[in-house]
Structure 1
Amino acid sequence: MTVWDRPEPPTRPAPLDRERIVAAAVALADEGGLEAVSLRKVAARLNAGPMRLYGYISTKAELFDLMVDEVYAEILPEERPGDWREALHGLAHRTRQAALRHAWLADLLGGRPALGPNGLAVSEATLAALDGVADIDTVMRAVETVSAYSTGAIRREIANLRAERATGLSESDWQRARGPHVTRMLATGRFPALAKLVYDGTHVDAEVTFATGLDWVLDGVAARLTGPPA
């Protein structure tokens, strides 16, 4: 039985429910990451005894499932997508924006399917937009391909943001600090391809990088969906 299937206990002696528990957990994670979340800390934020939470949530894994589903409400499309490409494009960008608001989400993306009501609603909206485009197995490979790209790109971006917070150096500051070392290494002539990248490449921000890569992936999916089978 999942956490969504179990009824909640009575609220007495003090008001408490899963909605308040999850909101407190999300706030803690937003402030300090998943490592800042425990049933004891959530209970303290709610001025409740830790044992009371076990009437609502059995494990930390269940709490994480509820937290992810809470954020999936932010990923749901407001309107029915016009076509499959718009659906997958919007899903990827909304997931990225949610992860930028809740960096801990990046640590929980890419695992088993989200089975909460919001997670299921996101999946339903996505699959409905691809209904009839191809057979269901091909549709699933398309969704998985876009998901794999967006999850990897989001995790990389969040890792860079965490490094900035940990070191106090922005990416440009970090590059300047290591510039002399890179210049010396490139001057040896051992890394001509890297030198071409450093001196001739166009450096763009994370949003442009994400959008460009996503468009390339979607182009590949489109070719597979519309082209002849391999």
Structure 2
Amino acid sequence: MLVWERPEPPERPAPAPLSRERIVRAAIRLADADGLDAVSLRKVAAVLGVGPMRLYGYIATKEELLDLMVDAVHVEIRPTGDGWREVLRSLAEATRQAAHRHEWLADLLGGRPRLGPATLAAGEAVVAGLGGVDLATVVPAVAAVNAYVVGAVRREITERRAERASGLDQAQWQAAFGPYLERTFATGRFPALASVVRDGPHLDADQTFRAGLDFLLDGIEARIRG
């Protein structure tokens, strides 16, 4: 029986009452502070002031705990809007914002879908919002938006982590490697790249995300109209 359907143990008097919600919230606090490496049933039990064995009545494995954590965060992802384009934009923006609040989410997005109630509710909101579009378009369109968001968010979170690890923000990193690029471009071997670096637009993360999303939505719109 999946964790979503398996009943919790009956309540019992204890110095530290437990529930799946308490366990998941404690795990999310650990992950928000120190990443997924900080999350284990032992560490969660310590935060809650109980022995690790007590948690196994509620959660059988760490994988179940991760599934519950992702589902809990999906409460923050509620796509809204008038028309399919705004619904898909809302899905993309809400997922990105949730990942920025919970960096560890970027490591768990993608792959097989998690089937918790909050995740299913988010999916229901998206599909319902695309009610005027045929399913042959809805399915690949939603998949394309999700794939774009996963890639974009992982790139952004990787940049954040690189800044923390190196002590250099993006501008400082570019300044450090600028002389090397100028020497390389001076050889004339990479004229197209040199043009991009010297003359192309230099967008920030928000602008880059929204421009790429617009390109994708424009393509979906062309398919729907066609």
Q: CA–CA distance in 2 between the matches of 1:197 and 1:81?
A: 36
**Matches of 2:94 and 2:132, distance apart in 1:** 24
Cα shift at 1:173: 0.7
AA partner of residue 200 (structure 2): G
**Normalization by structure 1: what TM-score?**
0.95
- TM-score (norm: length of structure 2): 0.96
Segments ≥4 residues shifted beyond 3 Å: none
How do residues 12-91 of structure 1 correspond to structure 2 at under 5 angstroms? Answer: 12=12, 13=14, 14-77=16-79, 80-91=80-91
Structure 1 residues 200-224: Cα deviation after superposition (integer angstroms, max 9, x where no partner): 0110100100000001100000111
Contact 1:76 1:118 (8 Å CA) reproduced? no
2:225 maps to: 226
Q: Is the 8 A contact 1:24 1:45 kept in 2?
A: yes
- Is the contact made by 1:164 and 1:170 (CA closer than 8 Å) also made in structure 2? yes
In 2, Cα distance between the equivalents of 1:109 and 1:122? 14
* 1:205 counterpart residue number: 204
Alpha-carbon separation, structure 1, partners of 2:213 and 2:144: 10
> How far 1:132 moved relative to its partner?
3.0
Query: In the alignment, does 2:184 pair up with 1:192?
Result: no
Contact (CA 8 Å) 1:66, 1:116: kept in 2 or not? yes
CA RMSD of the aligned region, Å?
1.0
Measure how far apart 1:179 and its partner are. Answer: 1.3
* Cα deviation, residue 198, structure 1: 1.1
Asked if residue 99 in structure 1 is aligned to residue 82 in structure 2, the reply is: no
Q: Distance in 2 between matches of 1:94 and 1:151?
A: 12
Counterpart for residue 111 of structure 1: 111
* Identity score, percent: 63
Residue 2 of structure 1 and its aligned partner are, at CA, apart by 1.2
What is the one-letter code of the residue matched to 1:29? A
Deviation at 1:114, TM superposition (A): 2.4
Q: Any unmatched runs of 5+ in structure 2? A: none
Q: What is the CA-CA distance between 1:190 and the residue it aligns to?
A: 0.8
1:170 aligns with 2:172: no
Cα shift at 1:11: 3.4
| C-alpha distance in structure 1 between counterparts of 2:196 and 2:114, whole Å | 39
CA distance in 2, matches of 1:127, 1:10: 37
